[in-house]
Structure 1
Amino acid sequence: MAPRKLAAGNWKMNGTLAALDQIDQLVADQPAPGCDILICPPATLIQPMAARAQGRIAIGGQDCHASASGAHTGDIAAAQLRDAGASHVILGHSERRTDHGETDAEVQAKAVAAHAAGLIAVICLGETEAQRDAGQTLDVIASQLAGSVPEGASAANTVIAYEPVWAIGTGRTPTNDQIAEVHALIRDRLAARFADGADMALLYGGSVKPGNAAEIFAIAHVNGALVGGASLKAADFGPIVAALSAA
């Protein structure tokens, strides 16, 4: 089976209840999309957004704790995300790795917790500009992939997102050849490690916009996108979904 195409939006720390009308608009604009759609809003919006989406759009969290419960003030458990209506959770985003010092081992532990709660883990990988300039990109991605993805990962419970740190929110994107090189490495490593690794969805993220989406989706082993700022408005995200549906 071929990897499922997925257009995922990461709202990060943006959005209030007033933004829920964007979900209505997205559904209206894409009544029968040719790909899966996922929106990961702030935790405060998961339940009302899931109710609004009514299964037409998948809803996810932006992080979870590795523990099922306990004295972890301000954190959220995978089962709590699931209870609120989430089906996915983003893990290991570069902003979590940088701002909160998350290690590959911690990301892997969170992925195990997500799987145990019945969530699909969207595990993020990416190199910094300094690592790219030093020619270390493939080594960094291979190391993060090996350390962040647990043994229980499968095409049914795991999505991998490649997001070069230097391209997130900057308007800069790697060349098509650079994206292809990294995605080919990820696909090869997954296929060698997991029985269905060839079927795991691989997303590209980092300044994906309506103007460059179709070109990115034409690259081998790119099965979708993890979109930041351009996912906040249906008018911006809708054309990206349409481009993926047509790819």
Structure 2
Amino acid sequence: MKTFTLALSLSAALVPTAAGAQQFQAGADIFTGTGTSDRYVGRGGTVQPSNRALGSVADGGFDTFDNFGYFNGTLGGLTLNRQVELLSGNTYRFFDSFTNTGNATITTTVSFFGNLGSDGDELVGYDGGGLMVSCEGDGAGACIDDAVLALVYGNTGSGRQAITPNFYNAAFDLTVGAGQTVSLLNYAFLARDIDGPLASDVALATRRGLSLVARPDVAGLSKAQLATVANFSAASMV
């Protein structure tokens, strides 16, 4: 993984994008099991013979993803149900609920995973407090081709977020009582001017990511769903 220092202060990252900039539209390519859509609600896991993960995002646009947003590896005996949506403004929201259908408490680690279209050329420009901002680098400190990503995994410090060459991973330690459900919210925001990724797109991704950390977009989720969320504070989801 390559890391660079943005030529932007945090205050600069919070200003609006340049006048006249026009953002691309992220793709409605959430895998439903039979095709793609802007929404998936149903069980987790994969389908055969493709072995594709239900609710994962295939591309996102401009090859930003090579299949993103699913749980990689064992769930420790928990049952996964997913609600994945492309919200307005190029934001993918992943609401994942883990239910313990057994008779004893389960403690396990689950990993929210993504294969990035940057293919090992990641430039990480912001990393902290529940947010990572990354793009595909040109080897000289500038973003090229793919959209700039703001990847948000929570604001309670309950997860561990990392980008290694080609891959994104957010790991969460869960303890779920018998008959109980614990849920996780993850977000991926894509910023890209139609003329190519610009410095203003890095600023936009940083601003949007910080906004989602502080106040996650929970429109359309019920109070009962939000009551099970472990990685965002209840106060931030009001």
After TM superposition, the score normalised by the length of structure 2 is 0.29
After TM superposition, the score normalised by the length of structure 1 is 0.28
- Structure 1 or 2: more helix by fraction: 1
